[in-house]
Amino acid sequence: MKWHEHRLDLGARTHLMGVLNVTPDSFSDGGRYFSEAKAVARGIEMARDGADIIDIGGESTRPYSDRLSTDEEMSRVIPVIRRLSREIPIPISIDTYKSKVAREALNAGASIINDISALRLDPRMAEVAAEAGVPVILMHMQGTPDNMQLNPRYDDLLNEIIDFFKDAVKRCKLAGIKEHRIILDPGIGFGKTFDHNLSVIHQLKKFQVLQKPLLVGPSNKAFIGKILGRKAHERDTGTMAAVAACVMNGAHVVRVHNVKLSVETIKVIDAIRRERVNETVLG
């Protein structure tokens, strides 16, 4: 995937997206990097640790979270993006569903749009992405952050998500977004139960029918906490297990909080996967 001065060779190895929450209330690390200086320092640290993308968000989208005004969201993320883009060579993505925030973030130095609504909540988002010529990450979510975990139900989980993505890709193409700049995220923890999340990770390979890169974000999610009985900031071990499963099952990009541990986990799993491919070729 090439655009502007950036390139992601998604077929060669699994890529890593580092999460940078510039919020006081994120479920995993709320408040830790809320100041501009701490956020910039953390972004530089993640890049040095081996992140391929830094994903910056100013509004928490945890279940039942309150929505933030556009101006407040921009006041949190734009200064960080502006400073960080001068310090690191890797692409920065803006985690937002608001077109105005995305446009200003791109002007400040971001070069990817990561939209939890798959461009549905703001009709101008697709236009912003198309005009900028940047990759878009389309996430599946049943409902909105306000209500997505009230009672998520599916008749056919995987096929319903696949149909959702087919419609999302069509919207992108109609808006002028190049198909080779689309990345799909099945939305772990967004409108899904404990069992739904496990099924999505277990059956990731079914999404290969869409012929698009897959991004998965299992980091510190509640399903890990339920299995281990751990709080969000105590789930590194469980997260690494989930990351390994995602990579083994076909994820091209994994979105994580702990970049350093994830880099090592991914290197090992990628090596194992290459060996399996070699065996198949030689066999």
Report the catalytic residues. Answer: 221, 255
DSSP characters for 82-133? HHHHHH-SS-EEEE-S-HHHHHHHHHHT--EEEETTTT-S-TTHHHHHHHHT
CA–CA dist 175, 239 (Å, integer): 36
Residue position matching structure tokens 């939305």: 187
CA–CA dist 157, 32 (Å, integer): 35
- Using an 8 Å Cβ cutoff, are 62 and 146 in contact? no
Distances (CA, A) of 67 to 25, 59, 60, 64, 206: 12, 7, 8, 9, 33
Q: Which residues contact 268 (CB under 8 A, 6 or more apart)?
A: 244
The HSE-up count of residue 137 (CA atoms within 13 Å, CB side) is: 29
| 136 DSSP assignment | E
In 3D, which of 125, 230, 122, 130 has the Cα closest to residue 177?
Answer: 130
Query: Is the CA virtual torsion 48, 129, 82, 36 positive or negative?
Result: negative
CA–CA dist 21, 1 (Å, integer): 25
Using CB atoms within 10 A of its CB, is residue 77 exposed (0-12), middle (13-18) or buried (19+)?
A: buried
